[in-house]
Amino acid sequence: MIGLVDLRRFAVARSLFAPTTLQKAIERLGFVQADPIRAPARAQDLILRHRVRGYQVADLECRYSTLAIEEDYFVNYGFLPNAHVSPPASEDSRRSAGLAYSKTNRGFTRIRS
């Protein structure tokens, strides 16, 4: 049976890694949960601040249009590398859930369905 100390070491070694670029961090994580609630901070900012070199609050949103990522949801809403997205299915599922967004040079623009 694995002990708590070993389990903690295993989890940290696989989820915390040396700071890298925003794109590489999202690719390595595979999915970054997004949350608009800022108490204590938005989930994506908490997740990325220790994993992306020089990350500042809202960097993900500001750089979204330049990254090879998409918004989608699995159980939770978030961001994932383009390689993990099936465009027809994800677009339909986002629209049916009222979660359709469009990439713009300014970041996010809500699309009213």
CB-hemisphere CA count at 13 Å for 107?
A: 6
In the numeric block, the tokens 């609630």 are attached to 37
- Report the distance separating Cα 3 and Cα 12, nearest Å: 14
Residue type at position 91? E
How many CB atoms neighbour CB 86 within 10 A? Answer: 10
Cα separation, 76 vs 41, whole angstroms: 17
Integer-rounded Cα radius of gyration of the chain: 15
Q: Does the pTM of the predicted model rise above 0.85?
A: no
pLDDT in tens, the chain (113 residues): 889 889 888 887 777 888 899 999 999 988 898 887 778 888 999 999 989 999 999 999 999 999 999 988 777 889 989 887 765 545 555 555 554 445 544 444 444 44
